[in-house]
A and B are shown apart, each in its own frame.
Chain A
């Protein structure tokens, strides 16, 4: 099910006005997402830590909190330390935000809805996201402070190391898809959700989780957030940054989190496809109504993709506030001793699958059973059943507390009226 049309015609894509429009739309989306993520992070962290998060600014749920934070950051004093390298200190945040934003240009939000359709889309995104490491190095060195320098060096080593298994894990669905073009790769995952590449074979399934871990690490998110290790390094490479410069680093971090989740959604989770319809709404409506039908169909596709990206970011936040931070040697060991060999093995295995196992099939009483088909439906069904069982387990009714115990402690306190060992 490849893309038979382009929602935005080729002539329009080459015009300079489209460049300005698409850049503005993407920048607006990235910044609006960042605003949402700041609020979401505070709410998620609050709930996980059994408190409420922001509740005052902007009604009951504090949705204006981010605006208040933004205004505060804009009004802060713009201070540069005396020992800082003036040029490098100022230029470092812009590497981060430029590197993150340019990656959005190749990310397809819908069927044909992409800033610029590149034949090497996913390679381009990885290449541009890899230039973000300079923001860390130059910020760490240019701050003229030892916290920043240590944080910057550790961080740069971590980001650069995790790029290798990340790139290998991206190669694995690319081998299955046969193209680096993200629009085509997503187009091949159309139909129901068992067509998604995560269910295609066991190796892409593992590759999804390895890619997500490597992506989390290259976004400098916990449990790999040594750059901002507050208990050790004050704030790592952005210790000396305050106000709007710090905001740029933060926006870049949230932007790259969405870019990584977007790549994961596009390559593994079916991109803009809902997974519950047998066809792509944009393609179907385009056949029925022509060009306006494609726009209408994409009105379903684009929110689906955005929700998948936001879901990935939510999982990253959830993991951040659940797991403790790793030490630098543990971080490097995880990459070099575990994730890199695993991803190399997956690369060889997926080549074997595509060449040999994909073709295995046999006839049983008139029905053709093939190994890829069996795995596809079997694993999709198993995952759905596991998710349903997990949700039911969460919703099970709670047991009755023993008499005399109130509140949310479900077991009786140890010293309630009796002393242990004393009659």
Chain B
């Protein structure tokens, strides 16, 4: 077995194992730690696919941002019934059925779909574009030569759709700003409007 498949199997196995441990473990902070491993494993899979930029973004956004938030929240609010999570047998049965059904749907649909096979030219083009950040930036701006081209189902030849991703990017940024302001407002220190019983002023 050559290096590439070996690395992929190792990283995928570690990611899958961590994901299973997230569900199985009974301590909630340990579940967050296992989630950390599975997110880092996903970043590793991105690196193995040659998408350096996405892998680094996954690390900086998910691992460095989202997961820090999750661990803080989980760590500081883990009281009483949430510290030790024991799942009953009925819940195990239900979730296994749902999980297996979802996995079967995804796996079957992935295998049945006729994905366009990669030609030598498309492989070279993808390698060049995924490691070249300048091309990604140009695609963001809508430069026609840099936007990705590929097969659209139902169309016979390769199509390049010129689309600038800048507007959706800006919309998402404003959305995040609104969410940030809303969260800061919700978490503000509230003025005590009521008096405590028995306290005289």
A131 near B40 with CB under 8 A, answer yes
B60 near A130 with CB under 8 A, answer yes
- B99 interface residue (CB < 8 Å to A): no
A130 near B27 with CB under 8 A, answer no
B29 near A120 with CB under 8 A, answer no
Interface residue ranges of A119-165 to B (CB < 8 Å): 119-120, 123-124, 126-128, 130-131, 133-134, 137-138, 141-142, 153, 156, 160, 163
- B75 interface residue (CB < 8 Å to A): yes
Interface size on A, residues (CB 8 A): 27
B33 near A87 with CB under 8 A, answer yes
B72 near A137 with CB under 8 A, answer yes
A119 near B131 with CB under 8 A, answer yes
In whole angstroms, what is the CA distance A311 to B72 when docked?
Answer: 36
Contact bitstring B72-83, A, C-beta under 8 A = 1, else 0: 100110000000
Which residue of B3, B57, B71 is within 8 Å of A127 (Cβ)?
B57
Q: How far apart are A261's CB and chain B's nearest CB, in angstroms?
A: 21
B132 near A119 with CB under 8 A, answer yes
A120 near B53 with CB under 8 A, answer yes
A180 near B133 with CB under 8 A, answer yes
In whole angstroms, what is the CA distance A384 to B75 when docked?
Answer: 51
- B68 interface residue (CB < 8 Å to A): yes
- A88 interface residue (CB < 8 Å to B): yes
- A26 interface residue (CB < 8 Å to B): no
- B11 interface residue (CB < 8 Å to A): no
Residue of A nearest to B29 (CB): A141
In whole angstroms, what is the CA distance A201 to B29 when docked?
Answer: 47
Given A128-B59, A130-B59, residue A141 in contact with residue B75 (CB < 8 A): yes
In whole angstroms, what is the CA distance A180 to B60 when docked?
Answer: 15
- B22 interface residue (CB < 8 Å to A): no
- A16 interface residue (CB < 8 Å to B): yes
Which residue of B65, B72, B131, B132 is within 8 Å of A156 (Cβ)?
B72
Contacts of B67 in A (CB 8 A): 134
- State the majority secondary structure of interface residues on B: helix
Contact bitstring B42-75, A, C-beta under 8 A = 1, else 0: 0000000000110011011001110110011001
Contact bitstring A90-129, B, C-beta under 8 A = 1, else 0: 0100000000000000000000000000111001101110
- A85 interface residue (CB < 8 Å to B): yes
Contact bitstring A154-178, B, C-beta under 8 A = 1, else 0: 0010001001000000000000000
- B139 interface residue (CB < 8 Å to A): no
Contacts of A163 in B (CB 8 A): 64
B64 near A127 with CB under 8 A, answer yes
Residue of B nearest to A180 (CB): B133
A123 near B36 with CB under 8 A, answer no
Contacts of A127 in B (CB 8 A): 56-57, 59-60, 64
Contact bitstring A180-192, B, C-beta under 8 A = 1, else 0: 1000000000000
Contacts of B71 in A (CB 8 A): 134, 137-138
Q: How far apart are B168's CB and chain A's nearest CB, in angstroms?
A: 21
Contacts of B132 in A (CB 8 A): 119
Q: How far apart are A124's CB and chain B's nearest CB, in angstroms?
A: 5
Q: Can you identify 22 A-B contacts, CB atoms within 8 angstroms?
A: A85-B27, A87-B30, A88-B29, A119-B52, A119-B132, A120-B56, A120-B133, A123-B53, A123-B56, A123-B60, A126-B60, A127-B56, A128-B59, A130-B59, A134-B33, A134-B71, A137-B68, A156-B68, A160-B68, A163-B64, A179-B133, A179-B134
B residues with a Cβ closer than 8 A to A are 3, 27, 29-30, 33, 36, 40, 52-53, 56-57, 59-60, 63-65, 67-68, 71-72, 75-76, 131-134
